[in-house]
């Protein structure tokens, strides 16, 4: 198994761009996924396969990948985007998942 590392917290003002990184040695070989979790709610998938956006997810959410780091970018952050964000990856056969420690996004 391997680890995924995220910053514990990121803070931005409304309208600015938030970038949340996730680092792991296996990320060049495996896709990354991003979830948003608001207090008391289940996680919601916001990015899959590094940069694909599920239907219903606002266009301000985007993903990118470079080497061992993937990045979730939220452009024009809104107050409703304040949440915990988790990156996740899996082994090639889908036999196990691993999660980053999570990043708390605060909208100032």
Partner 1 sequence: QVQLVESGGGVVQPGRSLRLSCAASGFSFSSYGMNWVRQAPGKGLEWVSVIWYDGSNKNYADSVKGRFTISRDNSKNTLYLQMNSLRAEDTAVYYCARGGQAGDFWGQGTLVTVTS
Instruction: For residue 51, state whether it binds partner 1 (rule: CB under 8 A).
Output: no
Place of tokens 């070989």: 29
For the range 57-62, what are the long-range contacts, defined as Cβ-Cβ under 8 Å and sequence gap of 24 or more? Answer: 61/34
Q: Find the binder of partner 1 among 43, 50, 60, 69 (CB under 8 A).
A: 43
What is the total count of residues that contact partner 1 (CB under 8 A)?
A: 24
Q: How many CB atoms lie within 10 A of CB 28?
A: 12
Q: Which stretch binds partner 1 (CB under 8 A): 11-19, 64-72, 74-82, 93-101?
A: 93-101
Residues in the chain: 108
The residues binding partner 1 (CB under 8 A) are: 31, 33, 35, 37, 41-45, 48, 54, 84, 86, 88, 90, 94-102
């Amino acid at each position: 198994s391997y680890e995924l590392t995220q910053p514990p917290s990121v803070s931005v003002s409304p309208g600015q761009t938030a970038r949340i990184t996730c680092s792991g040695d296996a990320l060049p070989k495996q896709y990354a996924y991003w979830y948003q979790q608001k207090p008391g709610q289940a996680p919601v998938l916001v990015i899959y396969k590094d940069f694909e956006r599920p239907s219903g997810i606002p266009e301000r959410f985007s993903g990118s990948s470079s080497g061992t780091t993937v990045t979730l970018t939220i452009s024009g952050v809104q107050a409703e985007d304040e949440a915990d964000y988790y990156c996740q990856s899996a082994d090639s056969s889908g036999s196990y998942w691993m999660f980053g420690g999570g990043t708390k996004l605060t909208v100032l």
